Amino acid sequence: MERMIKIFLSMGLVVVGLTAPAYTGDLADRVASGKTIRLGFASEPPQAYPGEGNKPLGYVNAIAEGVLRSMGYTNIEPVVTDWGGLIPGLQAGRLDLITGGMYINKKRCDNITFSEPVSKETDVFMVKTGNPEQITTYKDLVTKSATMVTGAGYAGIEIAKKLGVPASQIMEVPGGTEILAAVIAGRAAAGVTSYTVVQDIAKKSGGKVEATNPALMPEESSAWIGIGFRNSDKDFVAKFNTELKRYLGTPEMMKAAAEDGYDEKALPGDTTTEWVCAHR
């Protein structure tokens, strides 16, 4: 177990405290005054994670930075925090936009403004290789009285409860590294997070874990990822969305995101944020 954690730490997957000062003005005013655009993200590979000097890596960061550059903004300051600090940091004015595997859903839409979707995802189970406890659906968790583990604030918590998994069988941890640790140690029969995250972790786990079949997951597990902004920055978001529509799916964008596993199947299609906010 310690070896697995050391592997992740050696890859730069270290959470840094959010210490950026608060700012109460609109993002457009901040940019016009020459200040940086503070891009907040947690270490959630392959969607977002820090490189050397906290360089924003991951396919959602690549898309966000590509759109901002197309808008003429290059003065971007990365701020790494834990998952639970992203939305509070945005609302408190310590961040200007947040990325990573942030699923668009009604609860979040009530608190922040999302860009149009940048990717479509599906949650799956992370299980020990060979799936010894045969967990492939939420129903399996219920019938086997098995514990699942997922990230604090992840969408899978509400889906699990909706499908009958008792709260006593749901373990919440900070993020992917801790989900992996709980599954390997046997503290949980299965971890719940997005398919691309599980695939990425599985590749780095030395064959210890694998992803279950996403086709067996409920329709509610299909999700769309967006980039989050403060509600006061809707004008900026509208301009961001205009450029996002032009940029999404271009050869330039696909090349930038391909390094972290993004391909044509990950494109969000015609689904709008308005629809997702109403139906998720």
What is the pLDDT averaged over residues 195-207?
Answer: 94
pLDDT at 223: 96
Other C-beta atoms closer than 10 Å to the C-beta of 104 total 29
pLDDT digits (tens, 9 = 90+) for 2-50: 444 343 433 333 344 445 566 556 899 999 999 999 999 999 999 999 9
- The C-alpha atoms of residue 272 and residue 280 are separated, in whole angstroms, by 12
* Of residues 67, 70, 71, 79, the one with CA closest to residue 36: 79
Tokens of 48: 């977002």
pLDDT digits (tens, 9 = 90+) for 204-238: 999 999 999 999 999 999 999 999 999 999 999 99
Task: Find the angle CA(85)-CA(58)-CA(99) to the nearest 5 degrees.
Answer: 35
Mean pLDDT of the chain: 92
* Of residues 47, 52, 132, 39, the one with CA closest to residue 86: 39
Q: Are 136 and 112 in contact (CB under 8 A)?
A: no
- pTM of the model as a whole: 0.86
**Domains of the chain from N-terminus onward:** 2-118+226-279 (3.40.190.10), 121-222 (3.40.190.10)
Q: Are 272 and 116 in contact (CB under 8 A)?
A: yes
- The C-alpha atoms of residue 42 and residue 175 are separated, in whole angstroms, by 9
- The C-alpha atoms of residue 6 and residue 64 are separated, in whole angstroms, by 29
Q: Are 4 and 180 in contact (CB under 8 A)?
A: yes
Percentage of residues in the chain having pLDDT higher than 90:
90
- The C-alpha atoms of residue 96 and residue 100 are separated, in whole angstroms, by 14
* Of residues 188, 150, 280, 160, the one with CA closest to residue 225: 280
pLDDT digits (tens, 9 = 90+) for 128-159: 999 999 999 999 999 999 999 999 999 999 99
pLDDT at 174: 93
Beta strands in the chain (DSSP E): 37-41, 49-50, 56-57, 76-80, 97-98, 113-114, 119-128, 148-151, 170-173, 190-194, 209-211, 222-225, 228-229
Sequence-separated (6 or more) residues with CB below 8 Å from residue 210 = 126, 127, 128, 129, 130, 131, 198, 202
Sequence-separated (6 or more) residues with CB below 8 Å from residue 39 = 56, 61, 64, 65, 76, 77, 78, 79, 95, 96, 97, 98, 99
Which band of pLDDT confidence, cut at 50, 70 and 90, is reported for residue 278?
A: very high
Q: DSSP per residue over 159-200, as a string?
A: HHHHTT--GGGEEEESSHHHHHHHHHHTS-SEEEEEHHHHHH
What is the pLDDT averaged over residues 260-271?
Answer: 94
Which band of pLDDT confidence, cut at 50, 70 and 90, is reported for residue 178?
A: very high
257 by Cβ neighbours in 10 Å (0-12 / 13-18 / 19+) ranks as buried
In a 3-state reduction of DSSP, which class is residue 123?
strand
- The C-alpha atoms of residue 110 and residue 70 are separated, in whole angstroms, by 29
